[in-house]
Amino acid sequence: MKARKTKHSANKFGKPGSKQKAGLPPGSLVHIGKVKTERTTIDVVEFDQHILTKKKDIKLKEALNYLDTPQTSWIKIVGLQDIALIESIGKQFDLDPLLLEDVLNTGQRPKAVVADDFVFLTMKTLGTDADKNIVSDQISFILKKNLLISFHESHLSLFNSLDKRLESANGRFRTQGPDYLFYALIDVVVDHYFSAIEDIATEIDRLEEALFQNINEQILDNIQHIRKELMFMKKAVFPLRESLNAIIKSDSPIIDKQQLKYLNDVHDHILQIYETIENYRELNTGLKDMYLSELSHKMNKVMQVLTIIATIFIPLTFIAGVYGMNFEYMPELSFKYSYPITWGIMLIIAGWMLLMFRKNKWL
């Protein structure tokens, strides 16, 4: 995992385009975030136990034709930059502009709104890129009777497994309503949270091993980067726990009672993920403390060696200083063997001090 620059990490928390909302009245539709698709597309999936119809990249008018059937319909809007299209969808389905505002604001924290005739949920997907950095998309759901509308920032491969399950006429998908599809999509997103956390755990283990091999600034940069990634994951997971709990306890007529046990299971997974994130945050903080401790220990070893060298040279410098005064009446200066004797005394003192240091395990 490569360390990112601070501004790149900060962009996860503050989405580009946020300034455009300043001063606008509530419900003003402005896309906040990066544009991740070339254009906004509409896909429709219609199914029951006997029929499965898929239409890709169709016009809104054609998509509306699938709403007058008894089958379950899933309308998937990919790309949020087409404000006019999103506004038209809102008018066709009588959606509150405040909900559409949350859909278009990709920096919106996960939240749920439960009404008599619909359930709204916006949440974050979490995954990793080629460098094992956390990447995220916002996905929003509007659940109605016989209808599920989902808004995606980009084309997400994590839902490919659901497409295969829809192909099976004997599967639970084809016999259940849109509330089960709603649960299944949430469940897939949450399952990928575990994969993202595993990548973080692997990186923490790698850094822990690196701490005992070679201390360098790159390790500290990576520790700081993981701290920001975990903060972002916490921001995505913690509100989702509250939002999903609000849906479960709402007793909404849109969601069948038998689906609540599945939503409760997802809620339990979110609790587990949240606790894991907190544990890894503590571990990462421990890595930073370990890094500083190891760096301090390394510096102490250097200072110990320098102190020992300086201590050995103190008496040697004293002897050299005494006989370097060059007074006229110093009897040792006229003695024939004064020079080698002085060297001998200095070497004996240095050797004795080295032995004492080793005996006291200072070396």
The DSSP string of 286-297 is HHHHHHHHHHHH
Q: Tell me the CA distances in angstroms from 10 to 22, 49, 128, 231, one per residue in order.
A: 20, 47, 17, 11
Hey, what are 96's tokens? 């509150």
6-294 with 302-359: one CATH topology? no
> Coil, helix or strand for 251?
coil
Q: What is the rounded distance in angstroms from the CA atom of residue 42 to the CA atom of residue 63?
A: 8
Residue for token pair 């928390």: 13
Q: What is the dihedral of CA 341, 345, 346, 352, to 10 degrees?
A: 150
- Domain range summary for the chain, segments of one domain joined by +: 6-294, 302-359
Q: Which CATH class is domain 6-294?
A: alpha beta
Among the listed ranges 7-21, 138-152, 297-311, 329-343, which one has the minimum average pLDDT value?
7-21
CA 73 from centroid of its chain's CA atoms: 33
Instruction: Give dist(CA 142, CA 148) in Å, integer.
Output: 6
Please state, rounded to an integer, the average pLDDT across all residues of the chain.
Answer: 85
Backbone angles phi, psi at 106, to 5 degrees: -75, -5
Q: Per-residue pLDDT averaged across 27-43, rounded?
A: 87
Instruction: Using alpha carbons only, give the angle 302, 303, 306 rounded to the nearest 5 degrees.
Output: 90
Binning pLDDT at 50, 70 and 90, where does residue 273 land? Answer: very high
Total-model pTM: 0.79
Distance between CA atoms of residues 328 and 62, nearest Å: 115
According to the model, what pLDDT value does residue 158 have?
Answer: 85
Q: What is the pLDDT of residues 97-113, one digit of tens each?
A: 889 999 999 888 899 99
At 63, the pLDDT band (50, 70, 90 cuts) reads confident
- Predicted pLDDT of residue 2: 47
CA 96 to chain centre: 31
Residue type, 177: G
pLDDT band at 361 (very low <50, low <70, confident <90, very high): confident
Q: What is the pLDDT of residue 335?
A: 79
Which range has the worst mean pLDDT, 13-27, 32-46, 48-62?
Answer: 13-27
Topology of 302-359 in CATH?
Methane Monooxygenase Hydroxylase; Chain G, domain 1 (1.20.58)
pLDDT for 272 equals 94
Q: Give the percent of the chain with pLDDT over 70.
A: 93
Where b means 16+ CB within 10 Å and e means fewer, 49-88 reads: eeebeeeeeeeeeebeebbeeebbbbbbbbbbbbeebbee
pLDDT at 6: 44
- Given a cut of 90, whether residue 172 has pLDDT beyond it is no
How far is it, in rounded angstroms, from Cα 187 to Cα 180?
10
**Nearest C-alpha neighbor of 96 from the set 72, 75, 74, 113:** 113
Band of residue 12 on the pLDDT scale cut at 50, 70, 90? low
Nearest 5°: CA angle at 37, between 35 and 39?
100
